[in-house]
């Protein structure tokens, strides 16, 4: 079980609803975007550099790895090994607690995290194929990266730097993705933290390492 282990309870149905909402929003944004959205299988730029994941993401990834262990144990073992190697590399400068894998949330730690291990590949990324070994269980950040998305009501639209070349600001805005309009994820994260007895964010490496 990983460092930042979350919950193993009755969350699947609620999380599956969230996944369906987000994936539907992505499909709609993809349809609107057409050739401007160049995200394709094997494009791995967004798979480098750690990012914060919630306890809900952690639960989903660990469940996905458990399922992969049942269907393809050798592949799952490679994911775990890559994760452990990443933890070994990252622990000395990890801006949090390397024992638990939980990120520190003060300003100094957040500033350090902004420049932390930007060239580090995600352990779920298969270096041979350029695909994600845990794609169906991927975190919400992965599910929303690419199309125009706001991180908050007052925030500007953010898009992948490889996408929307030649599109005007209005054309980009017309493709905006609203991944979770009812804020279901926040409620599920709170539930996961309560039931799992662990709060705070981690990164994929600590989630998937032994």
pLDDT score of 3: 59
What is the pTM (predicted TM-score) of this model? 0.90
How does residue 156 score in pLDDT terms, banded at 50, 70 and 90?
Answer: confident
Task: Check residue 41 and give its pLDDT.
Answer: 85
| Residue 163, helix vs strand vs coil | coil
Domain boundaries, given as residue ranges, for the chain: 12-36+50-208
pLDDT digits (tens, 9 = 90+) for 50-95: 999 999 999 999 999 999 999 999 999 999 999 999 999 999 999 9
Closest CA to 157 of 178, 144, 173, 141: 173
Task: Residue 160: name the closest of 14, 19, 5, 44 by CA.
Answer: 44
Predicted local distance difference test score (pLDDT) of residue 12: 55
């Amino acid at each position: 079980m990983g460092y930042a282990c979350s919950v193993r309870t009755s969350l699947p149905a609620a999380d599956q609803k969230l996944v369906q909402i987000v994936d539907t929003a992505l499909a709609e944004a993809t349809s609107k975007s057409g050739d401007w959205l160049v995200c394709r299988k094997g494009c791995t730029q967004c798979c480098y550099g750690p990012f914060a994941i919630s306890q809900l993401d952690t639960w989903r990834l660990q469940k996905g790895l458990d399922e992969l262990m049942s269907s393809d144990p050798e592949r799952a073992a490679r994911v775990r090994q890559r994760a452990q190697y990443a933890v070994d590399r990252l622990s000395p400068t990890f801006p949090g607690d390397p024992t638990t894998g939980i990120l520190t949330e003060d300003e100094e730690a957040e500033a350090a995290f902004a420049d932390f291990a930007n060239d580090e590949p995600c352990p779920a990324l298969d270096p041979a194929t350029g695909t994600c070994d845990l794609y169906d269980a991927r975190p919400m950040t992965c599910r929303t990266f690419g199309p125009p998305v706001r991180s908050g009501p007052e925030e500007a639209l953010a898009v992948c730097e490889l996408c929307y070349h030649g599109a005007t600001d209005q054309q980009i805005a017309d493709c905006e993705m609203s991944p979770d309009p009812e804020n279901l994820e926040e409620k599920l994260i709170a539930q996961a933290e309560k039931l799992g007895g662990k709060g705070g964010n981690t990164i994929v490496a600590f989630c998937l390492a032994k």
